Homo-oligomer: A and B are copies of this chain.
């Protein structure tokens, strides 16, 4: 058991009694970096995790406090309270300029439970889900732990851009494939899948009877340089029917600075509503009753806040583009979306070691590219949702370190 750092002895029998795929799943590379910082202590600028520095806005917290004061502390609707599902439909109608039905929305314990729900709904042991890589580790790991095979199709980085090769994606589909997972804007690379490609994926999935799992969590964090681009990233919402084989996973975490709330949603066909409800019932039995009014406040009154968050991130990205992005020893595609800067440093062949060096020497904490799948060696993910003070300081320290290495 040397890999896990656990001493042998009788306890290893307990470890060996776990389901093998669970026993053998390593710690997330992002969490590993975080733990290195927490053990070290000190004043490290935390840029490994996907959240900003602002706490949840007061008007959102207030809605939860008022709900608690009303005594809304009992079991509630497994699909989410009707008022929140209606608010989700209104929010989507506003941003995608078409009608949405509240019955297609199911409230979950964060985006992660939304993804877990989607996986459990469609994939069992021995089946496969295809996804481009590099990818957020939380896309593949839950699959492995459920004995589902994540089939990661590496994207190529060439001419300064990540290339999504649809033929490679489609070639990776076989009789065991249940879904293609599309994360756009992408965590970690910030790539946005265009409308033509979304349509091609939709048509392929329709023809082959596959599900689409659409992770468009960062759809609002969209900063294309193309003139005339919309304010929301291209989306399957514009190309798919509500009642076809597509499950969206989403979260309150990013848009409304609610990472610590663990509240998100699934959007899925109404015809599988009972099954989604069952999965919620048997995984968590729903989301805290008094948190759901806070979700309504976020959706109905949070637009100004979301826009300020996006503007904040866009300004942060501009700073990175004009500093790290100008260096000859750094390769990066300026992200069109998300709030991650995913860059490669010439001459670094051990991302994890470099991460620890930067934590130790310049108090800057990033996530190692290796956390995001094969091909991530030499790459790093920096979250630019943090305060500009922290962002500028971290970028400047990294540039200085690179100048003097």
Contact = CB atoms under 8 A, between A and B. Distances in A.
B112 A285 contact: yes
A146 B72 CA distance: 32
Contacts of A293: none
A125 B147 contact: yes
Contacts of A138: 281-282, 285
Nearest to A23: B275
A373 interface: no
Interface in A255-280: 257-263, 269, 271-272, 274-275, 277-279
Contact of A28 (B65, B141, B271, B278): B278
A283 B281 contact: no
Contact of A74 (B51, B146, B263, B277): B51
A22 B275 CA distance: 6
Range for the number of chain A residues in contact with chain B: 35 or more
B283 A142 contact: yes
Given A4-B274, A15-B271, A22 B121 contact: yes
A160 interface: no
Contacts of A41: none
Given A112-B282, A262-B286, A288-B288, 7 more contacts: A6-B271, A11-B243, A25-B278, A65-B65, A109-B284, A120-B146, A288-B291
A-B pairs, top 4 by smallest CB distance, nearest first, are A125-B125, A55-B71, A260-B289, A142-B282
